[in-house]
Amino acid sequence: MGPLVRGRALALLLVASTLAAGCTTPGGQPCPPAWAPQPPGCGGTQAPSGPPAVSVTHQGDSSDPKPAASTLPPKTTPTVANDAPKATPPVTRDPTRIQHYLPSLVDIYGPEVRDTVDLSLSPTIVNGLGLPGTESAASQQWMREQKALGARHISGISIWNNDNWKKVSDLPPELATAYVLDLDGNPVIVQESIFLNILDPAYQEYLRAGIRSHIDAGTDGFSIDEHFGTAWALDPLGEGPFDKFALAGFPAYLGQHYTPEELRQKGIQDLSTFDYKQFLLDHGLRDDYRTHKRDGTVPFVEDYYEYLRAAAAGVIQGLIDYVHAYSAQKGRSTFIAANLGSLETTARFYSSIDVFLFEHGWLPDWRQNLNKTFPAGEPVGPEIKFLLSQDKTAVVGYSIEGDGRVMMRLGTEPSTRLMTHEFAECYANGGYYDPVYQLDWIGIKFTSDRALLRPFYSFVREHPGFFLNRTTSPEVAVLHARVFLDDGMALDATRGFSTMLARANVPHDVLGLDQVGNLSKYKVVLTSGVGWSQHDLDALLAYARGGGVVFASDDRFATKDEAYRPVDRPELTAVKTEGAHAIGSGAFVFSRDYVWWRLWSNQDPASAAKVLAVVNGSAQPDAAPASVQLLPFTGKDGRFLVHILNYDFNGTDFTHRSDLDVRVKLPSGYSLGGKALRIASPDFVGNVTASYHEADGWVSFTVPSLHVWDVAAFE
């Protein structure tokens, strides 16, 4: 997995986050003031280039609910020292400059926007600058400006270089020696910046000072970036870490994980004098460490990596605790976000995160290299579904370093078309999108076409009822098992199962093991994973005995316990053979093959057919043409919604499709009761009125036109 660099990159890119543009309507008339609703051409939904393919009505969304809908804690009034009002001279307002962001009942994350032509891109929450840094005063002033425009603010905390210092001489005096060293005693440079050591008390105090200053200045939350900390100086980013603070706790860690005899067999006679750097040099492993450290040839490398990761996580949890303590002291509430993948549940501070503001690799290099790409990008639905089950918020942006390079190669229009789909995929699944509009960082240069993005932002703002207070009632669940550092089975199995189900239009939830005792409402559960506690395994088997169907794969399934120790499981002997096995009034279906890997890595049709045969025996899928995904929801106001996504990307644009017949199962006991059907989309202005047929708990209708994203609303 590559580095998660979003927070630092965003801090660098804020200056480049706007494009100069004039502000007139298509008829040449001046736009209204920035705070007023904007007609086409002034930041609102843009008029189409030609007449719509179908007749439309311009019905508003007056039936949409109007509750406060922020994903973040309630606003509080900050206590700001020396912030008394000061007299200012009159200012002549620039008519092209936004004076206040557009409000939205549905949160919109993003960078700042400045020009009125981009008013529809107005964020409600800005992912802002780092702390505290040599530009601390300027960043706090910028924060206040964004809040005055109407946006809430997230301050960034980089775990290894908050201010992007390029060389040692750039460091402030208090951090003069707080950087990571390689085996030769040289500073580790990563992404053109000095790699600071989060295990150094000086850097920890520097970050605490920044936390205090940003809370005092009124920030609403903090986002933690590069959470692996000093472990990334080992791999994949650097050739360290070998400074005294990185090395200090390693002997104690080894003492907790090995017996004295095991250590002697590995060449360590006395832990009290053990120095890992000297150990490597004494054994002639300098070059092996630099070039082959993760292939098993260098002793204790995996232990060192896990020790560093755990140590960084401990510091991060301490910083989180400090945020809450200082906020409480100031009478405020401050939320915590992190650039952390939602399925990476091994992070020790996972439960302390409120908002998962993470990069997703829609266009990962490994898929490009193996020719195993998804045409419209690797779906993010599994991650969002899992976070919803954990009552967490999912905010997703594209991978700046990975996807950014691919987008640079594709060019502006194809890449922006993909961004519109990323936006749609996030919001349709119940998450949020946090893009970077313009990139110029470590050789990556990309500029999006904001005119293509604006209608999507307007769509969310104009139709809050499509996104708020929704519920689902699927009959299938994917159970996300424990993830271990060097075992990706559970993680990739969850992605593989969920993506396969979504492509087959099988509505489903993605659950954590905390819900393993509450599976009775599902007809089928798909799972995998090596490490299972006895409690969780017993609950899974009880679900099957009670009438549920379980599908699992891989001979290694449940061969270790929750601490990843080998364990004998005689109760699985009968069911861990190929095929379906009756258990109580249900079934346990097992495949000894790596079905989970074939689904995720290869998108293997035969493996998908094997799993879907099990699923379809108990739960019927919805129906739509190939490459069309349906996401049904029930609104608490009684409306029934179907988000419709087009995954047919031809390398340049999404194929325009028409007259698509779809069939969707209604929730048990639910009837449309004569409701009208309208279809709305960011791809056209207004609403399409359509007919439908309801029978035997299913509804069928025809989608007249689909480009990227439609929503069918029965109301």
What pLDDT digit, counting tens, does each position of 310-320 carry?
Answer: 999 999 999 99
Q: What's the sign of the alpha-carbon dihedral 474, 475, 481, 486?
A: negative
| Closest to 520 (Cα-Cα) out of 561, 477, 490, 566 | 477
pLDDT of residue 469: 93
In this structure, the chain runs to a length of 715
Q: What are phi and psi for residue 11, nearest 5 degrees?
A: -60, -35
**Is residue 9 scored above 70 in pLDDT?**
no
Cα end-to-end distance, the chain, whole Å: 44
Q: What is the pLDDT of residue 142?
A: 83
| Per-residue pLDDT, 588 | 98
Helices (H) and strands (E) in the chain, counts: 18, 27
Confidence of residue 237 (pLDDT cuts 50, 70, 90): low
Cα 109 off chain centre by = 13
Across-strand partners of 335? 221
Residue 306: both structure tokens together: 């896990």
Q: Start-end ranges of CATH 3.20.20 in the chain?
A: 6-46+71-155+198-227+306-462
In CATH, what number does 6-46+71-155+198-227+306-462 get? 3.20.20
- Percentage of the chain beyond pLDDT 70 is 84
Which pLDDT value is given to residue 131? Answer: 52
Phi, psi of 197 (to 5 degrees): -105, 110
Residue 458 CB contacts under 8 Å (≥ 6 apart), including other chains:
44, 45, 120, 682
628-714: CATH superfamily: Golgi alpha-mannosidase II (2.60.40.1180)
pLDDT confidence band for 604 (50 / 70 / 90): very high
Of the candidates 112, 150, 149, 91, the residue with the CA atom closest to the CA atom of residue 19: 112
**Which pTM value belongs to this model?**
0.86
Q: Is the separation of the CB atoms in 495 and 502 below 8 Å?
A: no
Are 380 and 431 spatial neighbours (Cβ–Cβ below 8 Å)? yes
Q: What is the CATH number of domain 476-616?
A: 3.40.50.880
> Where do you find CATH 3.40.50.880 in the chain?
476-616
Whole-number Å distance between alpha carbons of 529 and 491: 8
Tally of CB atoms within 10 A around 677: 19
d(CA 360, CA 394): 11
Backbone angles phi, psi at 611, to 5 degrees: -70, -40
Whether the per-residue pLDDT at 262 is higher than 50: the answer is yes
Residues carrying CATH 2.60.40.1180, the chain: 628-714
Three-state DSSP at 311 gives helix
Q: Do the Cβ atoms of 57 and 151 come closer than 8 Å?
A: no
Tokens of 295: 């292939």
> What does the mean pLDDT of the chain come to?
85
Please report the pLDDT score of residue 38 as a whole number.
37
**Does residue 11 carry a pLDDT above 70?**
no
Over 80: is that where the pLDDT of 79 sits? no
Give me the amino acid identity at 325: A
What tokens does 450 get?
């904001």
- Overall average pLDDT of the 409-419 stretch: 96
Which range has the worst mean pLDDT, 118-132, 320-334, 494-508? 118-132
For residue 33, the model assigns a pLDDT of 34
Identify the residue with better confidence: 38 or 688: 688
DSSP conformation letters of 507-520: -EEEEEGGGTT--T
Q: Are strands 432-433 and 221-225 parallel, antiparallel or unpaired?
A: unpaired
Segments of 465-620 assigned E as strands: 470-471, 476-480, 508-512, 524-527, 549-553, 579-583, 586-591
What 3-state class would DSSP assign to 439? strand
Residue 679 contacts residue 710 (beta carbons within 8 Å):
yes
